Amino acid sequence: MIEYMEGRPVWAPALMPTTAKATTGDCPYARSALAYCTEGTRKRKKHMSALQDYINQITDKALREGIQREVDRLLQNKKFGLVFENHQPEYTPLWGARIAEQCTVARKDAIGGTLYTVVKKNERKAWCLPQGGKGGEGSGEVECFFLDDIVRIARFGEAIYPCLQRLDTIERAPENSPAHSLWHTLIEAENYHALQLLEWLYAGKVDCIYIDPPYNTGAKDWKYNNDYVDGSDAWRHSKWLAMMERRLKIAKRLLNPKDSVLIVTIDEKEYLHLGCLLEEMFPEAHQQMISIVINTNGVARDREMYRVEEYAFFVYLGNAGPAPLDDTMFSSEISQRKASQVGEANEGWK
C-alpha cells in the first residue's frame, strides 16, 4: 500500500505525564508543537525544523522532553513514502525440536492456526494454554495433546541457532578441469533462517545476492504463517512487504558495503512497492530497474495488453556497477548463437 498518512494525534492526553497535563494549556509553544505533530506526513519535511524550534522553546523540562520523545517515536515508526502494516510476527515450525514447558507449540495438522504455551508436560502428553490464535496474547481453557501431535514454534527474530546437516553431494566436473576445485552449497531451509545462518560467517563479505521472491499474483503463490495468501486478502500487499522487509534487512548485512550488488526479480504486481522498499532500505545505493523479455510472443491476458517481460531491480553498493561488453545481445545472429550454445551446454549436463 502506497499512501500518505493523514493527520493523527500522537500525544494523547491519557498518555501525558502528570506535569505535562498541568502545563500544556498554559504553554503556547507546547500547543504549537502538538498542532504540528498532527499534520499530515506530506508536510513533515517542510515543517520539521520549525517543529524542533518550537520544542526547544518549551521552558518546562518534563514537557519538552516528553514531546521530544513522542516526536522521535513518530519519526521512527512512520515512513514518508511507503506505509504498510508490519502485521503479526511470522513464525515457523521447528520439526524435531524438543518440546519443553513454557515453549510455544502448534498442532501439526493446524500450523497456521492457534498457538499454545506449554504449561505442563510428561513423557507422552503436554497441557497447553491457547495464546489467542495466530500468535496473539489471550487466555482460554487448558488443552491436552499427545507430544506426537504438536510441534515447537519459533517466531521470526527469536534465536533458534540453526545448523547445517549434510544430505547429499554431487560431483560432475572432471578431475582435470578448472571447475573441479570449485564448490557450491545448496541450502534447503526457510529463507529467513538460512540468511540468519549465513550472517554468522559472511556478514559484510557477500559480493552478490540474487533473489526471486513470490510475485504475489493473488493465485496462492506464497504463504504467510503457513496460510496461502490469495487475491481476496485485502492485506496481501502489506503482508508481502512485511515479509520482504524482514529478509532484506539480513541480506543488507550480508552484502559488502564497498562493492556488491543485490538483484531482485519481480513482475508488475509488486514492482512499484518493491522499488519504494528498496529505496528506503538502501538509501546509500544506486538503484536501477531493467526489463527482462520472458516471452517474445507475449502472454494473453483478459482485457489487458500482452505481457512479454518481467523486471529486475539492481541495487549497487559502493563501487559496484555493470561492466561494458562488446556483445550487445540484440542482433538475431548473436541470439541464435547463444541459444545454440545454451542447448549444447544443457546436453552436456544430462
**Is residue 102 a contact partner of residue 118, using CB atoms and an 8 Å limit?**
yes
Give bridge partners of residue 314 from the DSSP assignment: 263, 288
Which triple of cell numbers denotes residue 169?
A: 553431494
Q: Give 113-134 pLDDT, tens digit per residue.
A: 788 999 999 999 999 999 864 4
Name the most confidently modeled range: 49-53, 214-218, 310-314: 310-314
The pLDDT assigned to 52 comes to 78
The pLDDT assigned to 86 comes to 63
Q: How far apart are CA 35 and CA 7, in angstroms?
A: 10
Q: What is the dihedral of CA 94, 216, 1, 67, to 10 degrees?
A: 20
The pLDDT assigned to 223 comes to 60
Q: Helix (H, G, I), strand (E, B), or coil: what is residue 142?
A: coil
The rounded mean pLDDT for the chain is 75
Q: Determine the residue type at 169.
A: T
The pLDDT assigned to 165 comes to 78
pLDDT band at 259; cut points 50, 70, 90: very high
Domains in the chain: boundaries: 13-77, 91-155, 178-348
pLDDT at 17 over 70: no
CATH pick for 178-348 out of 2.10.260, 2.60.60, 2.60.40, 3.40.50 = 3.40.50
Phi, psi of 306 (to 5 degrees): -60, 145
91-155 matches 178-348 in fold: no
Phi, psi of 300 (to 5 degrees): -70, 140
Burial status of residue 253 (CB atoms within 10 A of its CB: 0-12, 13-18, 19 or more)? middle
Q: How far apart are CA 260 and CA 284, in angstroms?
A: 12
Judged by average pLDDT, the poorest of 204-213, 327-336, 339-348 is 339-348
Exposure string for 325-349, b = 16+ CB within 10 A, e = fewer: eeeeeeeeeeeeeeeeeeeeeeeee
Q: What is the dihedral of CA 301, 243, 188, 165, to 10 degrees?
A: -170
* CATH architecture for segment(s) 91-155: Roll (2.30)
Give the N- to C-terminal CA distance of the chain in Å, as an integer: 45
**Is residue 320 a contact partner of residue 259, using CB atoms and an 8 Å limit?**
yes
Q: Structure pTM?
A: 0.60
The pLDDT assigned to 39 comes to 43
Q: Helix (H, G, I), strand (E, B), or coil: what is residue 288?
A: strand
